[in-house]
Chain A
Amino acid sequence: MSEMIEVRWHGRGGQGAKTAAYLLAESAMQEGKYIQAFPEYGPERMGAPIMAFTRISDSPIRIHCHVKAPQVVAVLDPTLLETVDILDGVPEDGTVVVNTNESPNSLRRTLNISGRRLFTLPATQVALEIIGRPIPNTPMMGAMIKATGLLDIEAVIANTRKSFEKKFNAQVVEKNIQAIRRAYEEVKSE
Chain B
Amino acid sequence: MGNLISMEGNQAAAEAMRQINPDAMAAYPITPQTEVVQTFAQFVADGRVDTEFVTVESEHSAMSACVAAAASGTRVMTATSANGMALMWEILYIAASTRLPIVMALVNRALSANINIHCDHSDSMGARDTGWIQLFCENGQEAYDSLIQAVRIAEHPQVRLPVMVCYDGFIISHAVECLELLKDNEVQKFIGEFKSVNSLLDISHPYTFGPLDLYDFYFEHKRQQIEAYGPAKQTVIEVGKQFGSLSGREYGLFEAYHLQDARLAIVLMGSAAGTAKEAVDRLRANGLPIGVLKLRAFRPFPSEELTQLLSRFEAVAVLDRAVSFGAAAGPLFTEISSALFASNHRPLLLNYIYGLGGRDIDIEDIQEVGKKLQKTAESGKVEQPFDYIGVRK
Note whether A and B contact each other (Cβ less than 8 A).
yes
- Comparing B37-45, B150-158, B164-172, B210-218, the segment that makes contact with chain A is B164-172
Q: Tell which of B172, B277, B362 touches A62, judged by Cβ atoms closer than 8 Å.
A: B277
- Chain A, 60-74, contact with B by CB distance < 8 Å: what is the 0/1 string? 111111101000000
With both chains docked as a complex, state the minimum distance between the C-beta of B192 and any C-beta of chain A, in angstroms.
31
Report whether A25 and B362 are in contact in the complex, using a CB–CB cutoff of 8 Å: no
- Chain B, 342-363, contact with A by CB distance < 8 Å: what is the 0/1 string? 0000000000000000001111
Q: Which of A1, A34, A36 has the most CB of B within 10 A?
A: A36
With both chains docked as a complex, state the minimum distance between the C-beta of B323 and any C-beta of chain A, in angstroms.
21
Interface members, chain B 317-366 (any A CB < 8 Å): 360-363
Interface members, chain B 2-21 (any A CB < 8 Å): 4-6
Chain A minimum-CB-distance residue to B141: A60
Tally of contact residues, B, Cβ under 8 A: 28
- Given A63-B363, A64-B275, A66-B360, A29:B170 Cβ within 8 A: no
Q: How far is the CA of A29 from the CA of B4 in the complex (A)?
A: 8
Report whether B170 and A38 are in contact in the complex, using a CB–CB cutoff of 8 Å: yes
With both chains docked as a complex, state the minimum distance between the C-beta of A130 and any C-beta of chain B, in angstroms.
27
In the complex, B177 has a CB within 8 A of chain A: yes
In the complex, A183 has a CB within 8 A of chain B: no
With both chains docked as a complex, state the minimum distance between the C-beta of B279 and any C-beta of chain A, in angstroms.
9
Report whether A64 and B168 are in contact in the complex, using a CB–CB cutoff of 8 Å: yes
- Given A35-B177, A41-B117, A41-B118, A64:B172 Cβ within 8 A: yes
Report whether B275 and A65 are in contact in the complex, using a CB–CB cutoff of 8 Å: yes
Which chain B positions have C-beta within 8 A of A22? 6, 176
- Chain A, 13-35, contact with B by CB distance < 8 Å: what is the 0/1 string? 00000000010011001001011
Which chain A positions have C-beta within 8 A of B168? 64
- Given A63-B275, A63-B278, A64-B272, A36:B176 Cβ within 8 A: yes
In the complex, A37 has a CB within 8 A of chain B: yes
Which chain B positions have C-beta within 8 A of A64? 139, 168, 171-172, 175, 271-272, 274-275
In the complex, A94 has a CB within 8 A of chain B: no
Chain B minimum-CB-distance residue to A61: B177
Report whether A34 and B178 are in contact in the complex, using a CB–CB cutoff of 8 Å: yes
Chain A minimum-CB-distance residue to B172: A64
In the complex, A78 has a CB within 8 A of chain B: no
In the complex, A134 has a CB within 8 A of chain B: no
Q: How far is the CA of A28 from the CA of B215 in the complex (A)?
A: 63
Q: How far is the CA of A4 from the CA of B1 in the complex (A)?
A: 17
Report whether B274 and A66 are in contact in the complex, using a CB–CB cutoff of 8 Å: no
Which chain A positions have C-beta within 8 A of B278? 1, 62-63
Report whether A38 and B277 are in contact in the complex, using a CB–CB cutoff of 8 Å: no
With both chains docked as a complex, state the minimum distance between the C-beta of A174 and any C-beta of chain B, in angstroms.
23
Q: How far is the CA of A1 from the CA of B362 in the complex (A)?
A: 15
Q: Which of B5, B174, B176, B363 has the most CB of A within 10 A?
A: B176
Q: How far is the CA of A32 from the CA of B178 in the complex (A)?
A: 11
Which chain B positions have C-beta within 8 A of A63? 274-275, 278, 362-363
Q: Tell which of A25, A32, A41, A61 touches B174, judged by Cβ atoms closer than 8 Å.
A: A41
With both chains docked as a complex, state the minimum distance between the C-beta of A27 and any C-beta of chain B, in angstroms.
10
Which chain A positions have C-beta within 8 A of B361? 65
Q: How far is the CA of A36 from the CA of B4 in the complex (A)?
A: 13
Q: How far is the CA of A117 from the CA of B187 in the complex (A)?
A: 49
Q: Tell which of B176, B272, B363 touches A38, judged by Cβ atoms closer than 8 Å.
A: B176
Q: How far is the CA of A26 from the CA of B178 in the complex (A)?
A: 9
Q: Which of A25, A32, A60, A65 has the most CB of B within 10 A?
A: A65
With both chains docked as a complex, state the minimum distance between the C-beta of A98 and any C-beta of chain B, in angstroms.
25
- Chain B, 245-277, contact with A by CB distance < 8 Å: what is the 0/1 string? 000000000000000000000000001101101
Residue ranges of B at the interface with A (Cβ–Cβ < 8 Å)? 1, 4-6, 32, 117-118, 138-139, 168, 170-172, 174-178, 271-272, 274-275, 277-278, 360-363
Additional 6 contacts, C-beta under 8 A, given A29-B4, A38-B175, A68-B362? A25-B6, A29-B5, A35-B176, A35-B178, A61-B177, A64-B139
**Could you list some 15 contacts between A and B, CB below 8 A?**
A25-B6, A29-B4, A29-B5, A29-B6, A34-B178, A37-B6, A37-B176, A38-B174, A41-B117, A41-B170, A41-B174, A61-B274, A64-B172, A64-B271, A68-B362
